[in-house]
Amino acid sequence: MDINLLYWKNEGKTFLSRLRLWFNILDPSSLLSSDAEIENAHSLIGSVERKLHDEKAGDAAWMLSLSSVHAGTGAILPAVFRPQAFLPISAPLVVASFLPHSGVKPALFWQFLLQSYSAGFNHANRNTSSDKGIKTSLKQGLLIVGSVAYATCAGAIPQIVIQRLSMSSPAVQMFFRSILPIPLSASLAYFNVVIVRSEESENGIQVFDSNGNSVGISRAAGAKAVKETALSRAALLGTTAAVPNLLIFLLQKARFLQRSPLLVAPIRHISTAIVLGLMIPVSFSLYPQLGTIKKEKLEKELQTAAVSGELFYHRGL
């Protein structure tokens, strides 16, 4: 078991402890660290020499390792797909995808960028213990391309309906621009994770005992890991779509917004970015990085091999 997973096992047992850690891990300044610095930090925390360093240096090394190293493989993550890069990159894509575009093409363009980045992030941060060679990678690549294409078209449905059917009714436009995007965004975020990481459910992922020793590959654990991650991402995008619309609905009754209707758009965009920024650590903390599954829910061959009644698995992100 990688040293990062051992850290999550000890320090990420509760939602609040995970939330505190994620606020530290998501510091974007760590993106400036070189690969050599990241490797040194990962090596430092995994060696007994760490005891010779002061606590502050040790904490800095832990945060750099947790934010930049894949917890399942120990490999350095691509900079754009690290957790601390998620907000700077996805914020403008999310805001732009929620804009009331004047045509269908801009809506498709921004949805394509958002769904492509989401697929890349989900794939880079998946559990890789289910990889089984070139054929599986080719199949997964085709699934990712298909999921991005489908999600792009589905995400632009509100704009397509308004433009193609010439919807001019204010009530209908409000439904397609403010209400429908909430469940649609949550559903597409869930769909993206399930499809991109489907090989984990099909092939299984590695499970560990309480001592960090591998017990085997479990499809039940893989399905549980994918479902938990998909639910957390649905909560992230669904809340990001819902809160700004609710805020605008409440503020429209205020006098200052009635006098200055041009403020509606800036308030909506700024609140979307703020809610997204606040929800990222919350959604990442909903489920433990080192998940647990009861022995009885595993495959029969693993039940006989397991000693303890509870096993652990890397959920991914």
pLDDT in tens, 248-283: 888 877 776 667 767 778 888 999 999 999 999 999
Which range is most confident: 151-155, 167-171, 305-309?
151-155
What is the spatial distance between Cα 315 and Cα 218, in angstroms, rounded to a whole number?
13
Domain ranges of the chain: 1-77, 78-314
What is the chain's length?
317
pLDDT in tens, 116-158: 999 999 999 998 887 665 555 788 888 899 999 999 999 999 8
Question: Mean of the pLDDT values across residues 23-49?
Answer: 83
27, 64 in Cβ contact below 8 A?
A: no
Question: Residue 310 region, left (φ>0) first, then alpha (ψ -120 to 50), else beta?
Answer: beta
pLDDT in tens, 193-204: 999 999 898 888
| Four-point Cα dihedral 116, 242, 316, 130, nearest 10 | -60
Q: Which residues contact 298 (CB under 8 A, 6 or more apart)?
A: 207, 218, 220, 221, 306, 311
Q: In what order do the strands lie in the sheet with 310-314?
A: 214-218, 205-208, 310-314, 290-294
pLDDT in tens, 53-62: 444 447 788 8
H-run or E-run covering 290: strand 290-294
Question: Residue 314 region, left (φ>0) first, then alpha (ψ -120 to 50), else beta?
Answer: beta
285, 15 in Cβ contact below 8 A?
A: yes
What is the spatial distance between Cα 278 and Cα 236, in angstroms, rounded to a whole number?
9
111, 156 in Cβ contact below 8 A?
A: yes
116, 148 in Cβ contact below 8 A?
A: yes
Percent of the chain clearing pLDDT 90 (strictly above): 44
Q: Beta-strand (E) ranges in 194-262?
A: 205-208, 214-218
What is the spatial distance between Cα 248 and Cα 63, in angstroms, rounded to a whole number?
37
Q: What are the φ and ψ backbone dihedral angles of 169, each rounded to 5 degrees?
A: -65, 130
What is the spatial distance between Cα 23 and Cα 20, in angstroms, rounded to a whole number?
5
* pLDDT bracket for residue 48 (50, 70, 90): very low
264, 252 in Cβ contact below 8 A?
A: yes
The pTM (predicted TM-score) of the whole model is: 0.90
